[in-house]
Structure 1
Amino acid sequence: MMDHVINYLSEINPVLAALYASIFTWLVTALGAAFVFFFKTMNRNFLDSMLGFTGGVMVAASIWSLLIPAIEMSEGEGFMQVLPAVIGFLMGTGFLFALDKLLPHFHVNFKQVEGVKSPWQKTTLLVLAITLHNIPEGLAVGVLFGAVAAGVPEASIGGAVALAVGIGLQNFPEGIAVAMPLRRMGISRRKSFYYGQLSAVVEPMAAVLGAFAVAFFTPLLPYALAFAAGAMMFVVVEEVIPEAQQNKDSDWATLGFIGGFILMMSLDVVLG
């Protein structure tokens, strides 16, 4: 099954392939949000383990799928070879840092508001919080497909598919993380689901943008890969890990992180 998917995506336009892959990650988010039709609350240990899993996938993807290829495809030796990755990584973290400070949004814990003051409703603020997570994820998928289209030896269609699968899997708990708090507030199941899946709509758009940019501007590729990695790492450190460690029993989050890291690393090696 996976071989058929990889073969198909390798034969079509890379921008279209990135779109299809990111639509998959969006649909998995919707699947997580759909849990709101069956449950009103979710076990805290389960949520913590899923958040930890999300963090593990994002860290492994940043390293194995983005930073290492960015360094390998850079010219020069020593620090000159790693310099594009350093610059791109700093730009990615800086971009998310600026959005985090300027865009009004809730933390995932639904208690602390960040960004400039805004009269927006709580539902809008929560959706924006998860949307911040999904921008770098969509970019990462698109940039990797763009690298394949550019003929970069360090990038493979299997690795791009592995990244899309890994991000899709960690999007599942993100859909739950948006829909469940809204349901607990008394919002209808249908609206809670709608807002839960809406948070990932940005992924296909970001993926197409990333694929288009690097496919036609190949010199940007190491910087773009590292940019996506930096943005993802910022999200993990700023949002995912702190929220997963809120509970006294933090072992579930730790085990989830380890599981997510191992799975994403394995997917990248096996498929890439």
Structure 2
Amino acid sequence: MRSLIPLIMSLIAGLSTVIGAFILFLSKEKNNRLITFSLAYSAGVMITVSFTDLFASAEEVLTKAHGSLKGIILSCLFLLIGSLLAYLIDEFIPDDPKGSINRYTNSNEKLYRVGLVSMIALIIHNFPEGVATFISGYQNTSLGIYVTLAIALHNIPEGITIAMPIYYSTRSKKQAFKYTLYSGLAEPLGALVAFLFLRPYISEVILAITFALVAGIMLYIAFVELIPTARIYKHNKVYLFSIFLGILTIVVSHMYSH
């Protein structure tokens, strides 16, 4: 069944959020090197997928449909709209108060609220990612794998973001896993909605627009969230190695998929 593979991909991408909780419990202390690696590697993957696959595919289709100049303009326009959507999510969805983990360590109630707000924000963030994963995989399995990999990798540190405050405020692994799982399940839910309601309307042009939008969202996440956060931990060698490894992973994978 053609739709089964992208649905499974979205489930894998979503459940990777729970890996963040596993990492938190396996490590007695906060593992900054591991977080740096996950964030930077994911950024490298996202940037490369956005430019070499998503945007390139969108530009090719829109150029065929509307001519060279208009196709390029439309591709760039939808890329910018995708970035703007990601920016608006950042602006209007409550985020972690600055320094919250350090400031609220002695206040379980406030620390718990940080985890709860993070979960709500990430549910809203993960739902359209599930739609993007399904549409990408439905059109092209290889492209769907790239998008799944990029999303899964950046979902891991997101899982840590939810699990850490919930666990340290409640001392309950069950609670931390439950809240992290809720966030992750938003991904396959988005894919299921795409499968049930959006599939009949999928066309080359609609896919091209979606790819450009998703590329903009992914670039925003990479440059505004992942890279700055990875650099905070000051593991510069790990950061540089990881981001280039992420880029090379996609470049090398092209040798086997084209």
For the superposition of Structure 1 and Structure 2, which TM-score range results when normalised by the shorter chain?
A: 0.7 to 0.9
For 1:108 and 1:63, the matched residues in 2 are separated by 32
Q: Which of 91, 96, 110 is 2:81 aligned to?
A: 91
Aligned to 1:122: 114
Other-structure match for 2:143: 159
CA distance in 1, matches of 2:100, 2:121: 9
Residue 136 of structure 2: aligned partner: 144
Which whole-Å deviations, capped at 9, do the CAs of 1:236-267 have from their partners, x for residues lacking one? 22211111111233332222111122213333
Cα 1:162/1:96, change in 2 over 3 Å: closer
1:202 lines up with 2:186 in the alignment: yes
For the 8 Å contact 1:105–1:128, the answer to whether it is kept is no
Q: In the alignment, is residue 106 of structure 1 matched against residue 96 of structure 2? A: yes
Return the match for 1:60 from 10, 32, 48.
Answer: 48
Contact between 2:59 and 2:208, CA under 8 Å: does it hold in 1?
Answer: yes
Q: Secondary structure at the match of 1:199?
A: helix
Structure 1 residue 164, shift from structure 2 partner: 2.1
SS of residue paired to 2:232: coil
| Cα distance in structure 2, aligned partners of 1:17 and 1:42 | 35
Unpaired runs of 5+ residues, structure 1, are 1-11, 113-118, 149-155
Structure 2: which amino acid aligns with 1:160?
A: G
Match of 2:16 in 1: 28
1:126 CA drift (Å): 2.0
Change (3 A) 1:32 1:247: closer
Sort the Cα spacing of 1:128 and 1:53 in 2 relative to 1 into closer, same or farther, 3 A: farther
> Quick one: distance in 2 between partners of 1:18 and 1:191?
29
What is aligned with 1:192? 176
2:159 pairs with 166, 172, 175, which one?
A: 175
Aligned residues: 246
2:116/2:166 contact within 8 Å kept: no
| 8 Å Cα contact 2:132/2:214 also seen in 1 | yes
User: C-alpha offsets along residues 16-45 of structure 1, whole Å, 9 cap, x if unaligned?
Assistant: 432211001122222332223333423212
Is contact 2:42–2:150 with CA below 8 Å preserved after alignment? no
Cα–Cα, structure 1 residues 208 and 84, in superposed 2: closer, same or farther, change >3 Å? farther
Whether 1:231 and 2:217 are equivalent positions in the alignment is yes
Amino acid at match of 2:177: F
Shift of 1:144: 1.2
1:109, 1:206 → 2: CA distance?
32
Determine helix, strand or coil for the equivalent of 1:190. Answer: helix
Cα offset, 1:107, TM superposition: 7.1
Bigger shift: residues 171-180 or 64-73: 171-180
d(CA) in 2 for partners of 1:200 and 1:62? 22
Per-residue deviation, residues 167-220 of structure 1 (Å, max 9, x unmatched): 334433432343234434453222222223332222112334455536524132
**Does the aligned pair in 1 maintain the 2:49–2:146 contact within 8 Å?**
no
1:261–1:138: structure 2 CA closer, same or farther, 3 Å change rule?
Answer: farther
CA RMSD, Structure 1 to Structure 2 (Å): 2.9
Alpha-carbon offset, residue 110 of structure 1:
5.1
Cα displacement string for residues 128-167 of structure 1 (whole angstroms, at most 9, x for unaligned residues) = 4444553453233122134x2xxxxxxx323323432443
Q: Give deviations 1:91-117, integer Å, cap 9, x for gaps.
A: 2112222221111122797569xxxxx
Structure 2: runs of 5+ lacking an equivalent: 103-109
Q: Given that residues 66 and 140 in structure 1 are in contact (C-alpha distance below 8 angstroms), is that contact kept between their aligned partners in structure 2? A: no
C-alpha contact 1:40 1:180 (8 A) present in aligned 2: no
Question: Does the CA contact (< 8 Å) of 1:106 and 1:128 recur in 2?
Answer: no
Return the alpha-carbon distance in structure 1 between the equivalents of residues 99 and 254 of structure 2: 31
Aligned residue in 1 for 2:29: 41
Structure whose residues are more often helix by fraction: 2
How many Å separate the matches in 2 of 1:108 and 1:45?
Answer: 21
Relative to 1, partners in 2 of residues 1:196 and 1:240: Cα closer, same or farther, differing over 3 Å? Answer: same
Find the aligned partners of 1:257 and 1:108 in 2 and give their Cα distance.
Answer: 25
How many angstroms apart in 1 are the aligned matches of 2:38 and 2:191? 24
Change (3 A) 1:161 1:209: same
